[in-house]
């Protein structure tokens, strides 16, 4: 291919992107992929989701939504307008110009990165790769994944990066449930394999995102994302550790933190809780920890924060036993209502939720446990199915202890406290409750 032809490949793709003639494949229509696909379809791109879960594929093609950050009506409208659809796998006839990879990046039980989804998808893309395509990895991963894992697979097609096709990493920063910062107005970092990939990728992201921040390589972009989540994990661990100390010293940690965060500089609010959950904070830092070992480097903050955060459900469990003891109840003869099974308020996501770990510890101790979560119909704990119960005044009065594990906004905490015998609040959700405070034990 001559230099002119190479320039034409890049310029032609940029032109297609700018005129919205480019067709986009989004691989993995989950918490990240579906909102992303909707944002792109909204501005006129034709977007096809490649989703291996047949139920999700079917729902999208029926115009049905399953991700809370996506607007039901918007999704239906885009599907009906032919701008958004889903299919189970790539087809040899697909002619996508941009392929965005949003598949899960979990950990194995031994906290080792499990890149099987990214590898499998990259192999599928390589099979169909043609000149003039941009491939972007959005999944969170360790520095090196784009260039060391994806690039060799893609180049095994015989095509060359930066000339025939373009490759970048642009980490997703979606904060599920955040109404102020969405995919559109959150600054987006992008690092390309070489300057041509960066130019194409930046053009692509600038179509929907207000501020695209270019970094020098995919390695740097990958490091940005794992650092951001490590920053959160470490700071959450710090306030969790402070909570354990305050508990021993009989100091109200919530009062301390609220007062500390009145300082207008040099500090940032983080709050304790029963542990960390979701697909980011408990996982991503360990991707970096694992990679660091290749460089004979120990990331001590990551190890320590993981240890502190993972211990929190046990601390809450100890506190439950203490509170039951104070009201003269043996755990094996007590009944408890757990409020909030999701890992975060106002969401239905239960992945790695500390409430699940907590529920298991309580059941193991012989406590009769029921739960309510307006967003989580049922869960499996120790291979047994539990369904969310309806909360009534009678039910709250009947249990010995109400445990607030997740502080959903729709709960009426005044009413809950007024009816309850005792409440253990792990989120300070009852901060505004004035009456009956003697019934409340805080984390
Ligand atoms: N959830 C978050 O808040 C968040 C935020 C930022 C980044 N991330 C990162 O984004 C990535 C995706 O996370 P998520 O929360 O959207 O996951 P998810 O589980 O909600 O969605 C992933 C989707 O990919 C599909 N999938 C898996 N393998 C596939 C394959 N080979 N082909 C087609 N579809 C496939 C799954 O069926 C699922 O629908 C992860 O790396 C995660 O760390 C997540």
Active site residue 280: yes
In order of 14, 30, 83, 155, 371, the CA distances from 97 in angstroms are: 10, 21, 15, 17, 47
List C-alpha distances in Å: 1 to 95, 198, 232. 21, 21, 47
Ligand 1 contact via 32 beta carbon (within 6 Å): yes
Q: Tell me: the pLDDT tens digits for 95-139?
A: 899 999 999 999 998 889 999 999 999 999 999 999 999 999 999
Q: Own/partner pairs for 391-400, CB < 8 Å, 24+ apart?
A: 391/337, 391/339, 391/416, 393/419, 395/337, 395/370, 396/337, 396/420, 397/421, 398/335, 399/335, 399/336, 399/337, 399/370, 400/324, 400/327, 400/329, 400/334, 400/335, 400/336
To test ligand 1's pocket by mutation, which of 30, 280, 353 has the most ligand atoms within 8 angstroms of CB? 30
Which 8-state DSSP code applies to residue 391?
P
Does the beta carbon of 279 sit less than 6 angstroms from any atom of ligand 1? yes
- Do the Cβ atoms of 349 and 342 come closer than 8 Å? yes
Q: Is 140 in the pocket of ligand 1 (CB under 6 A)?
A: yes
Mutate to test the pocket of ligand 1, among 26, 32, 123, 224 (most ligand atoms within 8 A of CB): 32
State the pairing for strand pair 133-137/165-169: parallel
Nearest-CA neighbor of 25 among 159, 169, 124, 144? 124
CA 305 – ligand 1 centroid, Å:
24
CA dihedral over 418, 419, 424, 430, signed as positive or negative: negative
Q: Is 338 in the pocket of ligand 1 (CB under 6 A)?
A: no
pLDDT tens digit at each of 443 positions of the chain:
666 565 699 999 999 999 999 999 999 999 999 999 999 999 999 999 999 999 999 999 999 999 988 999 999 999 999 999 999 998 877 889 999 999 999 999 888 999 999 999 999 999 999 999 999 999 999 999 999 999 999 999 999 999 999 999 999 998 888 888 887 889 999 999 999 999 999 999 999 998 999 999 999 999 999 999 999 999 999 999 999 999 999 999 999 999 999 999 999 999 999 999 998 999 999 999 999 999 999 999 999 999 999 999 999 999 999 999 999 999 999 999 999 999 999 999 999 999 999 999 999 999 999 999 999 999 999 889 999 999 999 999 999 999 999 999 999 999 999 999 999 999 999 999 999 999 999 99
pTM for this predicted structure? 0.93
What strands, in cross-sheet order, belong to the sheet with 368-372?
368-372, 335-339, 401-404, 423-425, 440-442
Spatial CA neighbour of 135 closest among 105, 115, 159: 159
CA distances from 185 to 67, 100, 282 (A): 19, 19, 26
Q: Which among 102, 168, 246, 280 is annotated as catalytic?
A: 280
- What would you measure as the largest C-alpha separation in the chain, in angstroms? 84
């Amino acid at each position: 291919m001559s230099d002119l032809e190479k320039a034409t490949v890049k310029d032609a793709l940029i032109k297609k992107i700018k005129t919205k003639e480019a067709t986009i494949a989004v691989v993995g229509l989950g918490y990240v992929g579906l909102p992303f696909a909707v944002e792109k379809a909204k501005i006129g791109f034709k977007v096809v989701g490649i989703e291996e879960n047949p139920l999700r594929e079917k729902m999208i093609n029926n115009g049905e939504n399953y991700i809370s950050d996506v607007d039901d009506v918007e999704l239906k409208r885009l599907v009906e307008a032919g701008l958004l659809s889903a299919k189970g796998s790539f087809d040899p006839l697909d002619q996508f110009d941009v392929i965005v990879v949003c598949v899960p990046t979990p950990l194995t039980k031994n906290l080792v990165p499990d890149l099987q989804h990214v590898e499998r998808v990259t192999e599928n893309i390589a099979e169909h790769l043609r000149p003039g395509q941009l491939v972007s990895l959005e999944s969170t991963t360790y520095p090196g994944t784009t260039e060391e894992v994806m690039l060799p697979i893609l180049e095994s097609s015989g095509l060359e990066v930066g000339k025939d096709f373009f490759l970048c990493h642009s980490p997703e920063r979606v904060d599920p449930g955040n109404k102020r910062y969405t995919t559109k107005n959150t600054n987006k970092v992008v690092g390309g394999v070489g300057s041509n990939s960066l130019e194409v990728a930046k053009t692509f992201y600038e179509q929907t995102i207000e501020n695209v921040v270019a970094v020098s390589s995919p390695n740097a972009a990958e490091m940005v994302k794992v650092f951001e989540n490590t920053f959160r994990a470490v700071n959450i661990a710090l306030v969790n550790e402070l909570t354990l100390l305050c508990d021993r010293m009989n100091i109200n940690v919530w009062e301390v933190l609220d007062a500390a965060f009145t300082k207008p500089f040099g500090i940032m609010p983080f709050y304790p809780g029963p542990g960390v959950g979701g697909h980011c904070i408990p996982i991503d830092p360990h991707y970096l920890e694992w990679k660091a070992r290749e460089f004979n480097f120990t990331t001590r903050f990551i190890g320590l924060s993981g240890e502190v955060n993972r211990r929190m459900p046990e601390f809450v469990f100890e506190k439950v036993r203490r509170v039951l003891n104070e009201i003269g109840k043996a755990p094996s003869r007590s009944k408890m209502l757990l409020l909030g099974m999701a890992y975060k308020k106002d969401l239905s996501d239960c992945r790695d939720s500390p409430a699940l770990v907590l529920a298991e510890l309580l059941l193991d101790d012989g406590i009769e446990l029921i739960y309510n979560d307006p967003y989580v119909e049922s869960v499996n704990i120790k291979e047994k199915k539990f369904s969310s119960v309806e909360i009534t005044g009678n039910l709250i009065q009947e249990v010995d202890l109400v445990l607030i594990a997740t502080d959903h906004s729709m709960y009426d905490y005044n009413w809950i406290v007024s009816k309850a015998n005792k409440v253990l609040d792990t989120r300070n959700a009852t901060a505004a409750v004035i009456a009956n405070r003697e019934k409340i034990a805080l984390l």
